[in-house]
């Protein structure tokens, strides 16, 4: 069941549109902001609120890769593996992260602190390699710099 807070935030987003479904991506992000991820139950409740079928909303959620349909850690690390970052050594960055965190891409650290995910271009190719942790972009990464970055996220 959606909380009153979630309903109000989604309704606020939808007030400029003739149909609530127009804000389905924003609504998914609102639910995720409050719960960390979007469960099957939350997706069904949200679909009802948006006057969509669960299948319609699921297709949006799976297309938009920043909607998490499984539980994630307290912080999500998105490592860009598109061409500019690949040329500039994103593999080394990913390998350093997997070694430091003891997890592979797609996994969450046992302490629930980090989830590591690959992502396509973050739009900052001129500062490759890049990654994003939660809402924060980290650019021009060099090996050895990750410890100081990770320490900011507890
Ligand atoms: S390719 Fe990595 S930010 Fe564009």
Over residues 43-89, the pLDDT tens digits come to 999 999 999 999 999 999 999 888 999 999 999 999 999 999 999 99
pLDDT in tens, 14-24: 999 999 999 99
Q: Is the pTM of this model over 0.85?
A: yes
Residues 54, 72: Cα–Cα separation, whole Å: 22
Distance (Å) from CA 125 to ligand 1 centroid = 4
Is the link from the previous residue into 129 a cis peptide, with omega within 30 of 0?
Answer: yes
Best residue among 77, 78, 80 to mutate for probing ligand 1's pocket (most ligand atoms within 8 Å of CB) is 80
Task: From 78, 85, 131, give the residue whose CB has the most ligand 1 atoms within 8 Å, as the site to mutate.
Answer: 85
Distance of CA 3 to the CA centre of its chain: 21
Element (H, E) at 121: none
98 close to ligand 1 (CB < 6 Angstrom): no
Distance of CA 120 to the CA centre of its chain: 12
Q: Could you tell me which residues come within 8 angstroms of residue 65 by beta carbon, excluding any fewer than 6 positions away?
A: 119, 120
d(CA 121, CA 83): 8
How far is it, in rounded angstroms, from Cα 63 to Cα 66? 9
Q: Cβ of 71: how many Cβ atoms within 10 Å?
A: 12
- Does position 143 have pLDDT exceeding 90, yes or no? no
Atom of ligand 1 lying closest to residue 82 CA: 1
Q: Is 106 left (phi over 0), alpha (psi -120 to 50) or beta?
A: left
> Token pair of 15, please?
């007030």
DSSP 114: E
- List the structure tokens of 62: 């799976």
Residue 49 Cα to ligand 1 middle (Å):
36
Is the pLDDT score of 126 beyond 90?
A: yes
The pLDDT confidence band at residue 141, using thresholds 50, 70 and 90, is very high
Look at residue 13 and tell me whether its pLDDT is greater than 90: yes
CA of 82 to the centre of ligand 1 (A): 5
The answer to whether 98 and 54 have CB atoms below 8 angstroms apart is no
In short, whether 50's Cβ falls inside 6 Å of ligand 1 is: no
């Amino acid at each position: 069941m959606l909380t009153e807070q979630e309903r109000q935030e989604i309704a606020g987003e939808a007030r400029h549109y003739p149909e609530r479904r127009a804000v389905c991506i924003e609504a998914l992000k609102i639910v995720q902001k409050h719960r960390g991820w979007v469960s099957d139950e939350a997706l069904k409740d949200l679909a009802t609120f948006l006057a969509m079928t669960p299948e319609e909303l699921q297709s949006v959620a799976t297309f938009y890769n920043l909607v998490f349909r499984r539980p994630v850690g307290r912080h999500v690390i998105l490592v860009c593996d598109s061409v500019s970052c690949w040329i500039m050594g994103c593999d080394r960055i990913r390998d350093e992260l997997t070694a430091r965190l003891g997890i592979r891409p797609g996994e969450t650290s046992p302490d629930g602190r980090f989830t590591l995910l690959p992502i396509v271009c973050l739009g900052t190719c001129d500062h490759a390699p890049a990654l994003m942790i939660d809402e924060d972009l980290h650019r021009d990464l060099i090996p050895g710099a990750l410890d100081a970055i990770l320490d900011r996220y507890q």
